[in-house]
Structure 1
């Protein structure tokens, strides 16, 4: 009895501590709203605004209906600089907040937690204004239909935009006193959204001509001075650059390789890359990749690791490999959750200033390094008295060691040592600064992209730390982001929530396939097959084909959108297309190839209308048209000889599937008929190269496997 009483007391104490924690924190602030109970770091940033914020949900909608108030929907994300600006100027302003609370029901949404909400209302804003971005501000009727919207609004009239307080009064008056006009405009807007939802519906499989034309169209967008596609602001355009590498690999047109190498070198030497800590910022505000928008996103770094790795595999230039290693080290050091996941992003701002954490004063550098080494370091990284960013310096490489060796009378090795030691000292000094805010929620989709980066890096480098990361990360997802029946989109503070979206599934299937080809755990291949079946059951549009972004119609959102275009991340539909082509090689599941070909037919007309937006599909088209090499390794265990791995993964070979058959096991997830009966020769690890349902003779040495792959590339493979 005493034990029971003691347990009740202890439980009560812990419950009180937990429930009172937010109250204790809230008592330190003048204002606290409902966002204090949300897990999103972005929403919690607004928890002490004087605005009476609601999270997205029925409580807010019910209030709007009951009071017949319009809804002010504000959407942003934690690393968004202009989101912070608008918060400081308007949402923290008592007068503005009072006006918002009086006239509207105010809802705040983290676009990374609810991309479905963001996508729909962004489409409305783009139709209304011709552009979009964040923070996004949308005014809705109580039944969630938008009637006005935009992005950032200043507190007073400026930049050609109406002041926010004036806008609030105008919108409220419009809603209350001009209902007929509002309804007419809503009807027009609904018609526009219906028109925008008209789908591409091709009927013929695309050919290599479509692939070649798309590459040429994208090449015309190339900016020759500094690389990249288009003018500032410049984004990495990873999928398009991947396409250029595939074009070079297929046809040997060196200009496509040159465009990628030129771009990646300028990015890796520029300010968009963190020269001290590794990792890339989201985009460059100028043509030269010098001045970044300083926020660092997990998804950019995950994709760029793989692009730089491919550049290394083609050229064997160690510069590209250094970027790979430094970026993965940054992710492991600064973006890793101890439980096994990866965090989402770092803010652009620290101490209220954009980029403050990353920039340097020349005198500060000289003081840290001394006048002699400091002079070398400043010359190498373009550090000057006047600076290159608001009087400070963004580090960027402006000279080669051999140039500095001649200039300073030192050897190249001495120059490299001075630069490396200087980097280490500045990095340690920077660690004492106030860092940018970290958004420490774990998003399944972005985590899967980073998992692919580690898996592909392990395939090439065999780094034991990368192997541990792969194992730990997949274990984390298994334990925390699925209930066995479905996946969850977001994890924070020990809890997973929000049913996963199409990109969560698509990127995870891709990551499982990449991880399988790294460590050959058959359970990962089985899981990839199972998830693909779930995607086809839950997301496929049975009427018009293609994939919806959500697994079912949202009870609040009027439309169920499709994820069709590449943006900062690849289209989930484009990734599922390639996933099914890869899985078909292992399973011969007819549904996989039928749906893949259906997607190719459906979207083929768009490939040359918008090659930038459909580059991920075009990458999959190259895989499909090339008839990938299906490399079957038969061994007596779950491991593969390193000599085989070096041949398979040591060069750029994007159109391949690598499978392991463990002869000691009675069952295997590999079901394709072409692999039936393939066995070891003389009890040695044996390789077969199959293509288009025809296999080579078995080989047992790396040299013979290398010869087979070279013959396969030349379409000269002998049947078995």
Structure 2
């Protein structure tokens, strides 16, 4: 028996390195072996934090008899979907086409040439054994039918794609998307649709931007629909069990409509996007005019959630090399959620009777339980009046929880998700006056540039300071480039702009589809049976939307018409998606708002560390339309950044220049003047 996963960089693959299954990593060697043995290939795709992946592993892949069948009848290939999103994408499309649904673990039976002929997801052990024997029998007795089925799938999914596009989104189209979202909004609980509910992080950014753009047009005293949906959803998620009330950070999704019971895995990408969204919502009042106490408290709450989530990322996901790990598992002690749930008895043991009663009321812990077996997920039913007692109790519970067996961490560093973390931490750190968060963003960016960039090309993953096998896909290039551009805006380091430009040059040269859009893989990447090209924003921005965002920002900083035209071409599909399924176009819609605003660009020049310059940066972040591009310089050298060229401090004072298309307003030196320029229509 030979299991070939022991040298993998993927923690998911390493979880299976001791299985009795003779696993192969993805690669031509596995398919060559299948051709030599004349057997099908069984491709099993999952990821380290996946609960049902663990269940199938325990039931089947660790079972000697099941492994014996797999080894005798198939060549077995294990794939980490986070390390090889291209492999996951093409086989997931096949799975959805064959079964009408998808998910992980994904189980695919394919010919030795990689053509899928039978697909599914999780199978219980007895069902899985029968399936193994049935597929092997069909391969022996009905091979022609199976290979024909596989070829039909390849022909159907591997042909050229026709994606109907339209002009870039207009104000009317963006406003129509909001009206469509109103029809899907859960007015009772926040969020969109029914259970399970995923955090709509990108829609929060779009709705916030649309609300702020239309504020001057709104009548009455209450918030318009976009603002109401954004704030209602953000507050409901953060007060529910989706949010870790003790340690910060959001779970991957809620299994119910009311955000009470989460699926407990915690992903870097969710939290990176939500840090940015909550920090942005904390910027200014929801309703224009004088801010009331309740709204002020809600804004302070948004700021708190942004900072606690960022602190969780830095505390629990940061790697020794300065990057951010991918996720925390849902399971510990062999069960889902054990680390996070409480009972009244456990509260009493941790706090004593008086504080336990207080905690039970505040966090909604009952004898019946909100999770299972009398256990409760902590929620924040209402903001406590005694904040000092609340913080003391919260810290005490966090300390007690720290003695439990913690969920496992998938500590591979994914370039794309670290790019999202750089953007979120840099923007939130500057906006909320948290220089430590900016420093964490800078460390992650430097790791990406030092370890993940090879000869101008990106490596998707690394672990323990060692680069992994997967090459970068479109989302890696785009999200890393955007992170570098945001980081330049708050640190003034010009090198980040130039590095972003090199990555975006690869995007334009290697990923274009010839029709204004982009493929998800480069033209020189490994050839699969189809070349993935998914334009929808799901739990992360699609590669296409992420590319549009980074290209648009780079164009605003440099004046490059080539990059702006490419951004507009990438956005041309957004109106079509928004018309049919606006929930799956959130980042594209947010970038559409940035395009509609210009985007504006603000150059702040002043000595490094000058408090007046830093206050101008914060004012720009607070007051400018979302999507505004920021550049920071010392006023002496422009570092090769065109937006900084010729910008100098006025009378030795830190100065801000508000520009659009390199036409600038009069320079200003006070935060009040800058805010007025940025908010004036």
2:26 is the counterpart of 1:56: yes
2:594 is the counterpart of 1:630: no
Deviation string, structure 1 residues 331-389 (Cα, Å, up to 9, x no partner): 11111111111111111111111101111121111122111111111111111122111
* Residue number in structure 2 paired with 1:417: 388
Q: Distance in 2 between matches of 1:604 and 1:494?
A: 42
* Residue number in structure 2 paired with 1:518: 490
Shift of the 93–376 alpha-carbon distance from structure 1 to 2, 3 Å rule, reads same
Aligned length: 659
Q: Distance in 2 between matches of 1:94 and 1:459?
A: 55
* Residue number in structure 1 paired with 2:70: 100
2:668 is the counterpart of 1:699: yes
Aligned ranges 1:135-146 → 2 under 5 Å: 135-146=105-116
Q: Distance in 2 between matches of 1:638 and 1:433?
A: 42
Query: What is the CA distance between 1:421 and its match in structure 2?
Result: 1.7
Query: What is the CA distance between 1:192 and its match in structure 2?
Result: 3.1
Aligned-residue CA RMSD in angstroms? 2.0
Gaps of 5+ in 1: 1-30, 157-162, 402-411, 715-720
Aligned ranges 1:37-436 → 2 under 5 Å: 37-156=7-126, 163-194=127-158, 198-202=161-165, 204-252=167-215, 254=223, 255-315=225-285, 316=296, 317-391=299-373, 392-401=375-384, 412-413=385-386, 416-436=387-407
Deviation string, structure 1 residues 65-115 (Cα, Å, up to 9, x no partner): 011100000000000000011111111111111111111111111111111
* Residue number in structure 2 paired with 1:534: 506
* Residue number in structure 1 paired with 2:288: none
2:211 aligned counterpart, secondary structure: helix
Deviation string, structure 1 residues 223-251 (Cα, Å, up to 9, x no partner): 11110010000001111222211221111
Shift of the 205–683 alpha-carbon distance from structure 1 to 2, 3 Å rule, reads same
1:63 aligned counterpart, secondary structure: helix
Give the one of 389, 402, 413 matched to 1:442: 413
Specify which structure has the bigger relative contact order, considering alpha-carbon pairs within 8 angstroms and separated by 6 or more residues: 2
Misfit runs of 4+, over 6 Å = none
Q: Distance in 1 between matches of 2:378 and 2:168?
A: 48
Q: Distance in 2 between matches of 1:361 and 1:47?
A: 37
User: Could you tell me whether the CA contact under 8 Å between 1:215 and 1:243 is conserved in 2?
Assistant: no
Query: What is the CA distance between 1:215 and its match in structure 2?
Result: 1.6
Deviation string, structure 1 residues 443-490 (Cα, Å, up to 9, x no partner): 111111111111011221232312321232222222222234222111
* Residue number in structure 2 paired with 1:495: 466
Q: Distance in 2 between matches of 1:248 and 1:663?
A: 35
TM-score by length of 2: 0.93
Shift of the 451–693 alpha-carbon distance from structure 1 to 2, 3 Å rule, reads closer
Moved more, 38-47 or 651-660: 651-660
* Residue number in structure 1 paired with 2:591: 620
User: Could you tell me whether the CA contact under 8 Å between 1:201 and 1:603 is conserved in 2?
Assistant: no
Gaps of 5+ in 2: 286-295
Shift of the 529–131 alpha-carbon distance from structure 1 to 2, 3 Å rule, reads same
2:79 aligned counterpart, secondary structure: strand
Shift of the 67–556 alpha-carbon distance from structure 1 to 2, 3 Å rule, reads farther
1:608 aligned counterpart, secondary structure: helix
User: Could you tell me whether the CA contact under 8 Å between 1:379 and 1:399 is conserved in 2?
Assistant: no
2:78 aligned counterpart, secondary structure: strand
User: Could you tell me whether the CA contact under 8 Å between 2:321 and 2:465 is conserved in 1?
Assistant: no
* Residue number in structure 1 paired with 2:616: 644
Moved more, 543-552 or 112-121: 543-552
Q: Distance in 2 between matches of 1:607 and 1:390?
A: 39
Q: Distance in 2 between matches of 1:533 and 1:685?
A: 33
